[in-house]
Amino acid sequence: MARILINVPPKAKRGDVIEIKTLISHDMESGYRPDNVGKTIPRDIISLFVATYNGAEIFRAELHPAIAANPFLSFTTIATESGRIDFKWTGDNEFLATETALIAVE
Amino acid sequence: MAALARTYRLGEDDDLGIVAGNRICGELSTIAALIATVSIISGWPAIAADILLSERKSGYQFLARETRAMQDDDTANPGMLWVLDGEALWNRKVGKANKSCADCHNDASTSMKGVAARYPAFNEAANRPIDLEQRINICRTDQQNATPLLFESNEMLALAGFVGRQSRGMPIAVSDDERTKPFIQAGRAMFGRRQGQLNLSCAQCHDDNWGAKLAGVSVPQGHPTGYPLYRLEWQAMGSLQRRLRNCLIGMRAQAYTFGAPEYVNLELFLMWRARGMAIETPAVRP
């Protein structure tokens, strides 16, 4: 299982702009590198990241072979209501990782 | 554990093959330019003067604001991915003895606090100093009856990172006694010795030219405060020995094999040179 680190403020005031940071362990093998005998290492990357806030999509990122290993994505949203923010990474070789963070909005 | 399964990434420092060619040439030409500049000064000292204790700076102080932010926030620091793996390994039973690290050492946050700040340390059985990675492998073979971990394997970096993390903020305090002094001296001699086709010593960059630029990056003073650390160029965690190998290849010198006593002597000298500075493991560097 991939290691995931998430930073979502546990509490926010309604209407506040909050910063969300996500980090996931992944090789992001570009598909262009040769191994030590000259054979091309097959591509193995995360290709899509989606964040939803109580079910509604708030952020989406398409990732490509030029993205470095262990992608770090940070974005902002407006704290509208208490609930959950779900994160989902999908990619090559049926890669799937999910994580959830809870937020309390006053 | 994806991080553990990760293959060792061929990088500019790791291989002399085609993959590495361009970047090495780039670094070498910069080093060559540096030499061209400094060789104008006649009587270049073979062994440079030590940096005053009060003027020492961690590599952290040469970082860009963004890289500092990565290191400062444990949820943005990619080295923490290895530390988390290390925590899992700490508690996993392995080997014929079916023992985990925790079975002997219990809670790492107390038992391992300050340990990384004391390594390399003198080992009776080896009759010489050993570094933290070698110490971990002694536990693996003698206590857990398991196969030793490979240097630079993700498992080793994870465990060393996890153990190192327990000393974060603590002052580096390697032993400087009768037993370790000859090895510190050997490390110092290596640090001051010109070597490789570029005929450079470590001291020429890290004592005399720190703060200058090499390949667009600041030359740091070379204090090993944050190892194992996450290097953005490696896109991975790496040990101090990997960093030393990287420098040696940049100088066009023959790199030693991982675990070589020459590396451990140099590690010991560098830790002694950084005595009193705070451990930052896992640090982030460009």
Q: Which of B6, B16, B77, B85 to mutate to test the interface with A (most CBs of A within 10 A)?
A: B6
State pLDDT tens for residues B64-108. 999 999 999 999 999 999 999 999 999 999 999 999 999 999 999
Q: What is the pLDDT averaged over residues B137-146?
A: 96
Nearest CA distance, B235 vs chain A (angstrom): 6
- Do B88 and B180 lie in one domain? The reply is no
Is residue B112 a part of any domain in this protein?
A: yes
B285 - beta bridge partners? B231
Tell me, what's the pLDDT at B154? 95
| Cα–Cα distance measured from residue B230 to residue B232, given in angstroms and rounded to the nearest whole number | 6
- Do B179 and B238 lie in one domain? The reply is yes
- Do B179 and B66 lie in one domain? The reply is yes
Q: What is the pTM of this model?
A: 0.86
Of A5, A25, A74, the CB nearest to B2: A25
Of B2, B75, B232, the CB nearest to A5: B75
Handedness of CA B61, B67, B70, B71 (dihedral sign): negative
Decide if B75 and A36 are in contact by the 8 Å CB cutoff: no
- Do B52 and B139 lie in one domain? The reply is no
Collapsing DSSP states into helix, strand and coil, what is residue B36? Answer: helix
Q: What is the ipTM of this complex?
A: 0.90
Residues 6+ apart with CB under 8 A from B165: B83, B86, B281, B282
Is residue B3 a part of any domain in this protein?
A: no
CB B3 within 8 A of CB A3: yes
Tell me, what's the pLDDT at B217? 87
Of B112, B135, B165, the one marking the end of a domain is: B165
CB B187 within 8 A of CB B181: no
Q: Is CATH 2.60.40.10 what the domain over A4-31+44-105 is classified as, yes or no?
A: yes
Of B15, B70, B236, the CB nearest to A36: B15
Tell me, what's the pLDDT at B215? 85
Q: What is the pLDDT averaged over residues B119-147?
A: 96
Q: What element of type H or E holds B183?
A: helix B181-192
CATH number of B222's domain: 1.10.760.10
Is residue B2 a part of any domain in this protein?
A: no
Decide if B17 and A36 are in contact by the 8 Å CB cutoff: yes
Strands A11-12 and A95-105: parallel
Of A7, A25, A69, the CB nearest to B76: A7
Two structure tokens written together for B180: 């370790």
- Do B266 and B133 lie in one domain? The reply is no
State pLDDT tens for residues B194-238. 999 999 999 999 999 999 998 888 999 999 999 999 999 999 999
Q: What is the pLDDT averaged over residues B157-169?
A: 98
Active site residue B101: no
Is residue B217 a part of any domain in this protein?
A: yes
A84 - beta bridge partners? A102
Of B140, B165, B190, the one marking the end of a domain is: B165
Q: Which residues of chain B lie closer than 8 angstroms to A34, CB-CB? A: 18-19
Expressed as residue numbers, the domain containing B84 is 79-165
- Do B38 and B17 lie in one domain? The reply is yes
- Do B183 and B213 lie in one domain? The reply is yes
Q: Which residues of chain A lie closer than 8 angstroms to B6, CB-CB? A: 25, 27, 69
State pLDDT tens for residues B245-257. 999 999 999 999 9
Is residue B1 a part of any domain in this protein?
A: no
Decide if B10 and A2 are in contact by the 8 Å CB cutoff: no
Collapsing DSSP states into helix, strand and coil, what is residue B167? Answer: coil
- Do B92 and B158 lie in one domain? The reply is yes
Residues 6+ apart with CB under 8 A from B98: none
Stretches in chain A below the pLDDT threshold 50: none
Decide if A3 and B84 are in contact by the 8 Å CB cutoff: yes
Residue that has been written with the tokens 């190998």 in this structure = B245
| For A3, nearest residue in chain B (alpha carbons) | B81
Decide if A72 and B76 are in contact by the 8 Å CB cutoff: yes
Two structure tokens written together for A26: 């992944």
- Confidence class for position B148, pLDDT limits 50, 70, 90: very high
- Do B189 and B212 lie in one domain? The reply is yes
Residue that has been written with the tokens 């508690």 in this structure = B91
Two structure tokens written together for B206: 């890290």
Residue that has been written with the tokens 């793996």 in this structure = B85
Is residue B33 a part of any domain in this protein?
A: yes
Tell which residue, A45, A51, A23, has the closest CA to residue B69: A23
- Confidence class for position B13, pLDDT limits 50, 70, 90: low
Tell which residue, B236, B220, B165, has the closest CA to residue B10: B236
Nearest CA distance, A34 vs chain B (angstrom): 8
Of B111, B137, B165, the one marking the end of a domain is: B165
Tell which residue, B241, B262, B258, has the closest CA to residue B193: B262
- Do B189 and B281 lie in one domain? The reply is yes
Predicted confidence (pLDDT) at residue B164 exceeds the cutoff of 70: yes
CB pairs under 8 A between A and B: 61
Q: What is the pLDDT averaged over residues B19-24?
A: 38
| Cα–Cα distance measured from residue A33 to residue A24, given in angstroms and rounded to the nearest whole number | 22
Residue that has been written with the tokens 């990732």 in this structure = A63
- Do B183 and B270 lie in one domain? The reply is yes
* Number of domains making up chain B: 2
State pLDDT tens for residues B45-60. 445 578 999 999 999 9
Whether residue B78 is preceded by a cis peptide bond, meaning omega within 30 degrees of 0, is: no
Predicted confidence (pLDDT) at residue B16 exceeds the cutoff of 50: no
Q: Which of A27, A30, A46 to mutate to test the interface with B (most CBs of B within 10 A)?
A: A27
- Do B200 and B258 lie in one domain? The reply is yes
For chain B, state the CA radius of gyration: 19
